[in-house]
Amino acid sequence: KEVVLSGIRPTGFLHLGNYFGAMRNYVRMQDEYNCYFFVADLHSLTTHPDTKELRNSVMRVIAENVACGLDPEKVALYVQSTVPEVSELYLYLNMLAYKGELEKTTTFKDKVRLQPDNVNAGLLTYPVLMAADILVHRAVKVPVGKDQEQHLEMTRNFAERFNHRYGEVFPLPQAFNYGTSLAKIMSLDGNGKMSKSENQMSTLYLADDDDLIRKKIMKAKTDSGPTEPNAEKPDYIENLFTLMGLVSSPDVLEKFNADFNNCVIRYGDMKKQLAEDMAKFIHPIREKAAAIQADKNLLDKIIRDGAEKARINTNATIKAVRDAIGVHYI
Ligand code: TYM
């Protein structure tokens, strides 16, 4: 079976962008592939989070993954920091990553703008740590959203450089989505991608209660509707259709699509329908995640088993890496 790896940063509750770009694919992939999924707690340290909050967030992400249908028996679900081989590979790869290319990374440039007083070296080498996450499992498919595409390209560059210098150790991984292209869910206000740090009323969290979900969706950006038949949809409208495709029945989606194409769409009605279907979709995930999060023994077992499974694979890779570099003395 092909090896799959992906990770999510524990920076608060997960939102629909994470679900679409990542978790939905994880759940589908777990039956077909040899899967490793992890919570990227080390990556979060670049923003100096509160220690207690970080711990809670890690537990929450584990619980939400399981609540969405990920089966810890089928996959290795682990916390990044419990697998020290990641950090060792990160060190080796840092010697093959250049300051110029790291400074040009879009996510780095964004962070410099967001936290100008904390431009630490970890932030600069974020893509190297991410490459280590992937390559330490010699993964070939990486289910992620569109925003991670550049990081995957950098991972392939680092892997190629390593293979060229030390001999073939790593396959070249590809970003993966079951659809035709990588997913990008927009913020409900139509401004950029849905994310944890943007306007909270425009981000739908898997932890939001039914009323809040309704409120957020009813506030989503729309306009006065198309003026000619079969017009192209503006991206914020396309986004609502995408969300509807996830949670509503095909008939409902079809109906609103036809209404749009015939210029008779009523966005108020569409949003009402979407709000109800979304609330129904998120409700069980929210309840299940809360129950799992309260079960400390279960979480502890998932995390321990996950680390054990992951380390069988990462140890094998690190051995091959050390042999290739020639740092094997004992
Ligand atoms: P993170 O924690 O920001 O997001 C987790 C996953 O959710 C996807 N995603 C989205 N997809 C579509 N639309 C959106 N609006 C949206 N917002 C987030 C992300 O693409 C991602 O798949 N660097 C990564 C974490 C990471 C990782 C890795 C991922 C660390 N090491 C190794 C894959 C492999 C990140 O910050 O994702």
> Domain locations in the chain?
3-176+296-325, 200-289
Exactly one of 196, 233, 255, 309 is catalytic; which is it?
A: 196
Mean pLDDT of the chain: 96
Atom of ligand 1 nearest to the CA of 144: 22
Nearest CA among 231, 221, 223, 209 for reference residue 280: 209
Most informative mutation of 6, 8, 149 for ligand 1 (most atoms within 8 A of CB): 8
- Atom number of ligand 1 nearest to Cα 145: 20
119 has a pLDDT exceeding 80: yes
253-274 residue pLDDT tens: 999 999 999 999 999 999 999 9
Contact 195 CB / ligand 1 (< 6 Å): yes
pLDDT of residue 180: 79
CA 54, 59, 61, 62 torsion-angle sign: positive
pLDDT at 200 over 90: no
Assigned superfamily of 200-289: Tyrosyl-Transfer RNA Synthetase (1.10.240.10)
Joined together, the tokens standing for residue 114 give 């967001």
Which ligand 1 atom minimizes the distance to the CA of 126?
Answer: 23
Q: Does the structure show a pLDDT above 70 at 198?
A: no
How many angstroms is it from 7 CA to the middle of ligand 1?
7
Say if residue 57 carries a ligand binding annotation. Answer: no
Q: Is the CB of 148 under 6 A from ligand 1?
A: yes
Distance, CA of 223 to CA of 219 (rounded, Å): 12
Gap between the Cα atoms of 70 and 38, Å rounded: 12
What is the pLDDT at residue 329?
92
| Shortest-distance Cα residue to atom 29 of ligand 1 | 7
In this prediction, residues 110-115 reach a mean pLDDT of: 93
Determine the average pLDDT of the residues in 63-77: 98
Look up 301 and say whether it is catalytic.
Answer: no
Q: Is 191 annotated as a binding residue?
A: no
pLDDT in tens, 290-305: 999 999 999 999 999 9
Q: How confident is the model at residue 156, as a pLDDT?
A: 98
Q: In what order do the strands lie in the sheet with 76-79?
A: 76-79, 34-39, 3-8, 141-143, 174-176
Residue in the block written with tokens 């990486």: 142
296 flagged as catalytic: no
Active site residue 255: no
Q: How far is the CA of 143 from the centre of ligand 1 (A)?
A: 9
Mean pLDDT of 97-122: 96
Residue pair 194/202 in contact (Cβ under 8 Å)? The answer is: yes
Residue 217 three-state SS? helix
Indicate whether 115 pLDDT > 70: yes
Cβ of 320: how many Cβ atoms within 10 Å? Answer: 16
Report the separation in Å between the CA atom of 298 and the middle of ligand 1, taken as the mean of its atom positions: 25
Quote the tokens at residue 314: 């990462």
Superfamily of 3-176+296-325 according to CATH: HUPs (3.40.50.620)
267 CA to centre of ligand 1 in angstroms = 30
ipTM score = 0.99
Q: Does residue 330 carry a pLDDT above 90?
A: no
CB of 22 within 6 A of ligand 1: the answer is yes
| 126: its two tokens | 């974020």
